[in-house]
Amino acid sequence: MKNIVKNLFSKTDLDTIAGAITEVEKTTSGELRVAIRQKRHRNEKSLTIEHIARQEFVHLGMAKTHERNGVLLFLLLEERQFYILADEHIHKKVHPSQWQEIANSMSAKFSQKKFRDGILEAVQAAGKVLAEHYPHKLDDKNELSNDVVVN
């Protein structure tokens, strides 16, 4: 089987996305992560994409951030699915329609085979949402890696 991730994203693409996350996080105390998976793990066969994203969220340490204001963009490539998951504090402040708008934009880019661009636009849009509710603070620390998680 071909590695779908490597076919869709070059190392430069992944570095560009990580760089965009770094720039976005200069405007917010929130944490943003992107995780890309080729396929489900065997023990996830009966789970929904939301449930798998929630597990990844915890696995990446996103549920342990100081302000509980992280956002995960999770992609499951073989199934052509993705999920945007906001932690509990940001979820209370942001209407689901804002995440749906970001998802719709990503979906439109993905349908044009512009995967990197779809993720970059989603990172920018999610960053604006985070900055609105959680502006950058002088004592803010980058709590999580900005690298794209690929597995």
Full residue range of the structural domain in which residue 86 is found: 4-150
On the question of pLDDT at 1 being above 70, the answer is no
- CATH code assigned at 115: 3.10.310.50
Task: Note the pTM of the prediction, 2 decimals.
Answer: 0.94
The domain total for the chain is: 1
SS (H, E, C) the chain: CCCHHHHHCCHHHHHHHHHHHHHHCCCECCEEEEEEECCCCHHHCCCCHHHHHHHHHHHCCHHHCCCCCEEEEEEEHHHCEEEEEECHHHHHHCCHHHHHHHHHHHHHHHHCCCHHHHHHHHHHHHHHHHHHHCECCCCCCCCCCCCCEEC
Q: What is the pLDDT of residues 91-132, one digit of tens each?
A: 889 999 999 999 999 999 999 999 999 999 999 999 999 999
Reported as a single tens digit per residue, the pLDDT across 7-29 is 899 999 999 999 999 999 999 99
